[in-house]
Structure 1
């Protein structure tokens, strides 16, 4: 294996180049090699200046995230940064690409910073529940001021080279190729007495203490989370940069970093980060190269079809939207135009981008217009006969080598594929509504789907900026099954004594944006009918609440009333005597004794239901990894990201405890609550769901 850091010296200028593809992540090996190279270079009597640079696409784009579990590894980067800052000769960071996290901490430790004009800078540590741990919260405010530093640290946003120079983060933006510019700049500066300039040598932008303290307190007052939270700890660290000696402030930051790294929230967020990165590549034993796709056809101009069309246009694909019904087609095209009109009005895109995207859209009623599409996604209503007819039409007009995908959530894809002459080129692409917004897409593999088609589906999903997860054919696949278990448990809770408002409030307190009954009202109560029937057919306790409410015309938000009653503005009216009466009547008929459920009881039952369904999904080999199941819940229906998804949340809770809960609940309804075999297997062997992610 080649060394991850090389050294070249010319006229006393030593260039230390990091070469660790693909992103030059600051792994333990890279940090160790850079530390050694720095020491050896400083030990040479002829060294006049040191340049830190990198090969490939980028200067280090952060630390290897797995190293956050090893405090000594992340501490080594902090020691390296101190060694750079204390160097007796000037150290210049010549940076390009995406200089993020630990990479930016490394650059800030240098005495001077030169950047390629396309460079992007950021400290996204907060996205994984952390603050910087190698001096980032101390050097950044000295360079740019407390207010801008807190903004960058809390939001994790990136800024370009021009803005970075404007706020004082870098010294110069390169004119022309960075390596040539950097060498010219260093030689010229040495000729005029270039000397070390440690960021820690003075207060820098923090010199005006009253003004900077006011900026800190202003941002602290705007925080929505309380004392001890991630945001509060970050602000505390920036304040420490003003009030403590530099060495003491570094220790303060390091303590905050280690506390946060050990927290369940950070562990969960790092798990999700890795899960999304892992999901980009299909889990195939012998991956095939993806097929070329430039033109995508959408068959069906309903809400889902128009959402998928917009997502494809956003990604640069040419799109042909086909619907044999002219009125529906025109409404669909109008809906797509309306999506872009709203985005332009909100400032998300400009008029030129809007017009360019709409120009790549064709609307047709004749399926023959799809004859030049490399991929066609069928989005007709969720009816087996309708989808079979659509597949027959599409199979007849599409090229033999083109891919035919269905957006179904429940229809047997193997059955659809069998009715075509292209079964190897049939795949499921299950988008969730609104398809142009929700980042998840389930790639559903039929019996004969080829690896090349799977690879193509993943490549298209990535280009759409979606997170793809692989699923086998199963009614509901992954996302719908998890959501079904969650909502079934919620309905059981109400039948057993909880209130609808109480269940929703408990799950919002857990971290969901809305409760399960609010979500059901958004979808429509009828959307859960198939799920309720499926559980009843499997022997689970039958739920009747939704059917009783539907009989009263309570179909959900669209009707102004469902599980909740809504005012004209769509806000929930808490006092709803009709629902209270229906629940009381239902309990009287069932003769079930009402129980009192605390918020924690509600949360434990809902989590147990989702984790158990996830274990069943794994046992049936519908999903490949527990982390994919977590992504389905987080991206599909709002499971709190900082909880890590139901499988990670179960791991953090302890599988033995969750299994004991399931065993206790199963006494009432074994068909629904009995622990999946995988639970017993993992508990018996002292393992967790997370152990299966890299298996």
Structure 2
């Protein structure tokens, strides 16, 4: 799967052929070996160009091969063969040179890149490191600090940045292969000894030990328990301190440790999960992704609070014309200023320069009459949203898609307020909407396939990871969050502290524990929802609360704090104390500890020692159990949908794959046993009662997570 031709008389051109990104499959590697031997042995050939077909150089390894016993020529000797050859080899980089593709290019003696090409070593995102010499050659070429940045983050660089770093020799706006051939002719017959990167001395930063100590400290802090970034630092340290051959041996050892790790399995599962959710389907297996989305050229956003502003920015940066509507003049002016600021900052970071021109502002609902799609983003109040949908249904032109940004309200109820309920879908953005990658696209009972397809396509255009989910209270993410938060509160009632719960969850890999996150988002947000649901007891502060709501255990702790005006960071007091309102530095609060002791005494609760295992199991297993219920109810089509939502929307550590993958790693039998144990201890907490789907999976021998979708499809087809 590599084509060989000879051009200009003396240049051998090897073209990689493995669409769509010319991944380095066994057949491609064999083709490179055979064609390289041919080029090196032909006396007429004085130099060689390696390129990829269809405007893409090489996207790296074929990840599907990771799940099998790899065959074909190994990558490392293949690249060494290219580098050690006597004839100059030029890499013609178009499209992408990622992972093994960039390592292949580093084995060449020269690199010519198209101006729109992207280069990078993203192996760390799969729980691995660049193990075909990437950790040894890159530091020798561009220096340790720059190489560490690329290797430990997996970020891509543009051709312009690659040229600045010294990663490529030339950048062109024209035909890259022609430019590479011309370059190859200019170096024909020249010695390549000085162009073999493996022979370079690695430029060492001053005070090498202190530099790497600091680098390791920073990587450990950012990676939150992920082992691949740490191994990347160790491999680059070997490049800086050892001869090339010994450095390669160290790279090989580190890769062997990573390759068989649970984290690598989790990250590779998540790689494929992201692709699975883009091929969205119903739980019964009917694929909706074949429905053709309708083009959206002009959109409207109704309501310019925090979410509405972020959505406006996301749409404008995606190239759409946006009508931003806020019916109050003062709020409209404030929103206009805020949106303009966000667009300016986005432009400085390399986004659309002309996005300012994409947004028009209005106080009138009539201004949305000619748009293709509306996203309503008013306050999370059903009566208000119903009124908005009634107005929109009358004002908008026929066929306009009507979308609501809601975190959990009933899409079907909103659809009944319109003339065409099939045009209504939910688009649940996450704050800040112009930054967060996740978008839950919620379909109701009467949402058309085209409406869902259009919302999914629009999400993709905004650079979101869109996941199609069914309609229920809280959808997927917030529905699962509820038992997770409940368990954290129950643990406080039983003797834990906010610091203990948060410490355990952050050690697991969450960016923030339950209580620090609650302080950040504001305790009053959930308080309003609970009041609307009739859960808040007006007598709670007097001590008359029975701690039971609607027949089940309920913790009023959050309500009691809100009654004290403790809303979190915004007021300087919440589950923690802060030096001033708005500060983000959380400190343990002696008042809160006394408050918990008094609360337990008032309700006859005896504080006990709670260990780390119980915190982790009760919080995570209750959340996972709700995930199984969501799968059973058909709200999500498969475990991948849930895992993608939790990693991108709720800070679940990526190196643990997502809650459903984590359940598979722990073992479904163990999850079931522990849930049964906790439910027996707390029979008034229904979220701890094991879901019947979990029981069925265990009874079926606990099939691996990638087979659950088929198992669930079978169950739904029998209903």
Give the TM-score, by structure 2 length: 0.87
Displacement after TM superposition at 1:214 (Å):
4.3
Cα deviation digits, residues 469-527 of structure 1 (max 9, x gap): 11100100011112212211101111111112221222222222222122223333343
Query: Which of 178, 200, 203 is the matching residue for 1:204?
Result: 200
User: Gapped runs of 5+ residues in structure 2?
Assistant: 282-286, 536-547, 712-719
Q: Alignment partner of 2:441: what SS?
A: strand
Displacement after TM superposition at 1:286 (Å):
5.6
Displacement after TM superposition at 1:332 (Å):
2.6
Flag the 1:622–1:631 CA change in 2: closer, same or farther, 3 A: same
Is 1:32 aligned with 2:30? yes
| Structural mapping, 1:446-595, within 5 Å | 446-529=444-527, 530=529, 539-569=551-581, 570-571=583-584, 574=587, 576-595=589-608
| 2:226–2:263 CA contact under 8 A, matched in 1 | no
Query: Which of 608, 612, 615 is the matching residue for 1:599?
Result: 612
Of 425-434 and 625-634, deviating more is 625-634
Displacement after TM superposition at 1:438 (Å):
1.8
Cα deviation digits, residues 402-425 of structure 1 (max 9, x gap): 110011223221122122122121
Displacement after TM superposition at 1:62 (Å):
1.9
Cα deviation digits, residues 367-397 of structure 1 (max 9, x gap): 1111111110111222222111111100111
Q: Alignment partner of 1:222: what SS?
A: helix
| 1:131–1:230 CA contact under 8 A, matched in 2 | yes
Query: Which of 670, 680, 684 is the matching residue for 1:657?
Result: 670
Cα deviation digits, residues 619-647 of structure 1 (max 9, x gap): 11111221221222222222222222212
Displacement after TM superposition at 1:42 (Å):
4.7
| 2:111–2:169 CA contact under 8 A, matched in 1 | yes
Query: Which of 389, 402, 405 is the matching residue for 2:403?
Result: 405
Is 1:688 aligned with 2:704? yes
Is 1:293 aligned with 2:306? no
Of 601-610 and 680-689, deviating more is 680-689
Cα distance in 1 between the residues matched to 2:235 and 2:273 = 29
Flag the 1:513–1:305 CA change in 2: closer, same or farther, 3 A: same
Of 335-344 and 92-101, deviating more is 335-344
| 2:96–2:117 CA contact under 8 A, matched in 1 | yes
| Structural mapping, 1:181-196, within 5 Å | 181-190=179-188, 193-196=189-192
| 1:651–1:690 CA contact under 8 A, matched in 2 | no
| 2:49–2:91 CA contact under 8 A, matched in 1 | yes
Q: Alignment partner of 1:404: what SS?
A: strand
| 2:289–2:453 CA contact under 8 A, matched in 1 | no
Q: Alignment partner of 2:319: what SS?
A: coil
Of 658-667 and 23-32, deviating more is 23-32
Cα distance in 1 between the residues matched to 2:350 and 2:11 = 45
Match of 1:364 in 2: 362
| 1:507–1:514 CA contact under 8 A, matched in 2 | yes
Is 1:326 aligned with 2:329? yes
Of 491-500 and 33-42, deviating more is 33-42
Cα distance in 1 between the residues matched to 2:412 and 2:99 = 46
Of 162-171 and 517-526, deviating more is 162-171
Cα distance in 2 between the residues matched to 1:271 and 1:111 = 35
Cα distance in 2 between the residues matched to 1:513 and 1:151 = 21
Displacement after TM superposition at 1:543 (Å):
1.5
Of 287-296 and 644-653, deviating more is 644-653
Match of 2:79 in 1: 81
Match of 1:222 in 2: 215
Query: Between Structure 1 and Structure 2, how many residues are aligned?
Result: 682
Cα distance in 2 between the residues matched to 1:181 and 1:553 = 67
Cα deviation digits, residues 70-109 of structure 1 (max 9, x gap): 5736982223223323445433222212211110011111
Flag the 1:202–1:599 CA change in 2: closer, same or farther, 3 A: closer
Q: Alignment partner of 2:76: what SS?
A: helix
Match of 2:48 in 1: 50
Displacement after TM superposition at 1:266 (Å):
2.8
Q: Alignment partner of 1:475: what SS?
A: coil
Cα distance in 1 between the residues matched to 2:72 and 2:64 = 10
Flag the 1:5–1:667 CA change in 2: closer, same or farther, 3 A: same
| 1:74–1:134 CA contact under 8 A, matched in 2 | no
Displacement after TM superposition at 1:46 (Å):
5.0
Cα distance in 2 between the residues matched to 1:7 and 1:575 = 68
Query: Which of 609, 616, 641 is the matching residue for 2:654?
Result: 641
Cα distance in 1 between the residues matched to 2:463 and 2:226 = 34
| 2:137–2:198 CA contact under 8 A, matched in 1 | no
Q: Alignment partner of 2:70: what SS?
A: helix
Q: Alignment partner of 2:13: what SS?
A: strand
Is 1:110 aligned with 2:111? no
Cα deviation digits, residues 155-188 of structure 1 (max 9, x gap): 3333333443454433333473222222223234
Cα distance in 1 between the residues matched to 2:431 and 2:164 = 41
User: Gapped runs of 5+ residues in structure 1?
Assistant: none
| Structural mapping, 1:355-394, within 5 Å | 356-394=354-392
| 2:459–2:466 CA contact under 8 A, matched in 1 | yes
Displacement after TM superposition at 1:659 (Å):
2.0
Flag the 1:439–1:538 CA change in 2: closer, same or farther, 3 A: farther
Flag the 1:559–1:376 CA change in 2: closer, same or farther, 3 A: same
Cα distance in 2 between the residues matched to 1:165 and 1:177 = 17
Match of 1:241 in 2: 239
Query: Which of 124, 127, 141 is the matching residue for 1:126?
Result: 124
Cα deviation digits, residues 548-588 of structure 1 (max 9, x gap): 22333333333333333333152566454543343223323
Q: Alignment partner of 2:299: what SS?
A: strand
Flag the 1:185–1:475 CA change in 2: closer, same or farther, 3 A: same
Of 217-226 and 317-326, deviating more is 217-226
| 1:324–1:365 CA contact under 8 A, matched in 2 | yes
Cα distance in 2 between the residues matched to 1:65 and 1:641 = 18
Q: Alignment partner of 2:386: what SS?
A: helix
